[in-house]
Structure 1
């Protein structure tokens, strides 16, 4: 670090909403690899350009495993449970391969009909309770949790426990390890049942997903099912459904466009994934195992680097008119789900659920609107994800 490089407090701001701090754009242009200090942990570098972000996510000289045992830069005092996210190839590759045998594109495609049924049931119930309604409580929260519970084979009556664990594990205040122990204890009992009596659900498939060279330990299996799938399969979707709906209702012409051309909904999901950040701050630093140059900065061996996915997703070098919503964008290689070896395990499942949610909301509620304008929107605070905790809508 040179004498002229400023250390900035990070996250830059905690303003609610779906936009990102304009400082990301300024840094991407003028100081693409900058020094930042998070609330906890050591100083870090922050990469904001698309190509630099991809390099950090794919170059083996940047290691997640090397982060273990370090005072990692983070937003919560307690270290986040990482599981498979804290591994490098080949260990990480082995677990991804086994998880991939269970969560295939075919399985996700076969789930769509069930996801439509579940979504319609919650929307029917919302309609029955009458307008206005809180879209978060009545639909965005229960829909993905019910889908993932059916996928994993979790008893329907236990889905409320998953909601408590999911919300707790993304809080910056709640005791992380005690919640993780509760979740893993519960999942461990279900795994034991599958071993005694095999099933065709995803948890049963994970138990069976092993060969002579690739054997999942119980802890590895619980990490994939409990963190890799539960969090990505529920929290991401339950946060982004109200984010996407809010964006559509604040940009009415785009809502009308999807009503007229519902075939654009998959494109709309990708565009909103690109534009709307899920996390208020970068997470899971990579540590350089040797000196590496990024843009005009040399990252020294042993230094941590964070990547700004929202910053990369608005890089005008990659995305023409990057700040503009464009449902007809032809090339959209966003990194909202990460990139490289740690690309989100549940990305296809999340995509499918988000597509189903938008399809049904747009088709069933053509006159949907914010019930009280921005006064009827309450934003999450103190969480590792950002989005509405209350979204009052009328139809």
Structure 2
């Protein structure tokens, strides 16, 4: 029987200092597929101090190229090694594997990046990135299956011209919370967990704490995570005179991250866009409700409005909702109970099973098999003519 090989191409992994929730999703899928008998390889960008190769949980990791050249490295590896299946993870840009493969390619999109391009790359670079994502990619992969993590992201893909019949929605899972390590903070505490980059808009959480402290002078914000925008965020905190109210905990261990959830009263998720929002489920497992933007997309499913958290439309509403939850203990406890009750609704095993069905062609649409032992002239590895 031919070995089931699958290559996942992602711009980075969770050991990368810039790794985040989308990388966690990819690795959970890879780990689960390996446990099911797939031979799994992840190729991602190298970073200072990274190995060239590693193995974790029966998954082979290859670190190649930079955050830019990793796309060329992934394309060449796909052409030369010819795995049976390829999961092309499109974080704004795809790996263009459809240029060298006719079948066996699945595109994973966490969310569409329209708003983020100009935030991260103002000017022509952002316009070029959005053109590649919105115009080139949907045409290049027009006959491939897509996987995304929420109905909101599916709708965004359809708006770009991706055939809805080719899109499978597979939600992210949530890990059970470990036993409580520390008691809930005695003072009003908001936590913000994730990469510190402009489109996460952590400044909105800082502004919310500034407003809250007008009524609750002991209110504080825990910022858990790191990223290239951290110096700018620290400057913003200083400009608002909130150094004693905002605590930067940096890139922490899993145990310390869960300890921060233990302390928190509310999770702030002010992101411009989220495909799903892994932190929502993580916080819910600790009984911590979330405040997020409705326009972010994924949180409209990961957060049940007024049951497990609050969805808002404007920055003013964001601050008001956080203050309201910090002040209103009965409302906060009701949402906390709802969050805790919902925490087991999404599991990684269900996520992995969904990907396995897509890869084996037993989901809504087939992903044709590619036999790695067939000659190189096989149509599966013939470059697409465009």
TM-score bracket, shorter-length normalisation: under 0.3
- More strand by proportion, 1 or 2? 2
Structure with the greater relative contact order (CA < 8 A, sep ≥ 6): 1 or 2? 1
- More helix by proportion, 1 or 2? 1
TM-score, normalised via structure 2 length: 0.25
